[in-house]
Structure 1
Amino acid sequence: MDLSNDVILITGGTSGIGLEMAEQLAARGNTVIVTGRDEDRLSQFRESHPGLFAYAVEVTDLASVETLYRQIVSDFPNLNVVINNAGLMQNIEFQSFAPARVTDEVAVNLAGPILVTQVFLPHLLKQSEAAVLNVTSGIAYFAFDKAPVYSASKLGLHSYTQTLRKQLAGTSVKVFELAPPRTTKPMFNGSDEDNREVDRIPKMPIERVVAAMIGGMKRNRCEILPGMSKLLRLIGKIRL
């Protein structure tokens, strides 16, 4: 893909990697739409990025996603790229974590991208060139005990992305996966001890992660593994 003059939807685009995606893709001449569920952040985004667009959505709720779909297709009928970036990472100790919240990451990180893709797919299939990019994680390739449900949900999204790619082979929709390593944006909040352990993993600037994503998509590289993610995948295979 050329990734210029495209119409791109980014879920979870008001902060972190999603915000960096929005800024870099807009700088390339694309029309960029971001989503979020925090109205204050969406308002701040609109004020600081007047040339970009922002909509509220709860990616785990079908009615909310369908409302977003109707709004986007009406306002931007040439939408041709969907980036499933919205995510949640929690530091979980199973012996003490609240049962009511233990599946939150599965809903946001796995069910959310599947739901968004399913709702937008009929529209994307009508475009001459389109793409879905799912943001997984370098730690999807091995069991990360400090964020066990996050690790499992991202591995599930990795598997879903592979099967989606196979099913859409021969259509106008390309399916990409970006597996970021640990970045300069904190992944989750834990105790000091937990954060010291996570600090052993080298960070990669989010600017470089997004640049790698754009470069990979332009070269039609279906799996984009910047920085340490390549090594993490290798370690995961060795452990198996």
Structure 2
Amino acid sequence: MNSFMMDIKNNSNDLHAVAEKTGFLKRLLEGKASTESYAEYLYNLYEVYNAIEVNLEKCKDNKVVKDFVLPEIYRAEAILKDLKFLLGENLNTMKPLASTRAYVARINEIGETAPELLVAHAYTRYLADLFGGRTIYGMVKDLYKIDEEGLNYYKYETLSDGPEMKGFVMNYHNKLNNIELNEEMKERFINEVANSYVYNIAISNELDFIRFNR
């Protein structure tokens, strides 16, 4: 692992820990949430993934972005299936949180002004799914008794667990290590990864406050 990947991790380690141990995500994994609040969390993730994926596709001819346009790990379509199962017609009444709207606005902004930085948000979301998704899948299934039909978010049609998944993640890391950015853009990229964690933490905290602490 060369210095760029290490710089990314070193700059965001604390935020990564905060993301896992605060807000709604912490409540969810402790079994203290509800199926309804989980569906709302998923809906807000859907808005984020949809923005990332729409912008990746829009910018797929960019020399940096093109290596990270990977439909096999896209999550918006899978999450939408879960939402239709969990919410039914109520899906039409859902609205994104203020923090989600801010996050989506940021993704759309860099899609127009600095497409290379889209990869920072893709890295933060997709690698978290690939590393921790199976663990969260098992916990959500057991704690909230959600049927398999509502757990598509955690499943990959073209990637299997084990060596294949590990190889995919390592290849993703290698692409990041070899990303073609100048020093100024590398610094902006590292900061954008931190921004991504901040936005995700904000969504988790806002949802937790609205549903359980107000």
Q: TM-score range by the shorter chain?
A: 0.3 to 0.5
TM-score (norm 2): 0.34
Higher-helix-fraction structure? 2
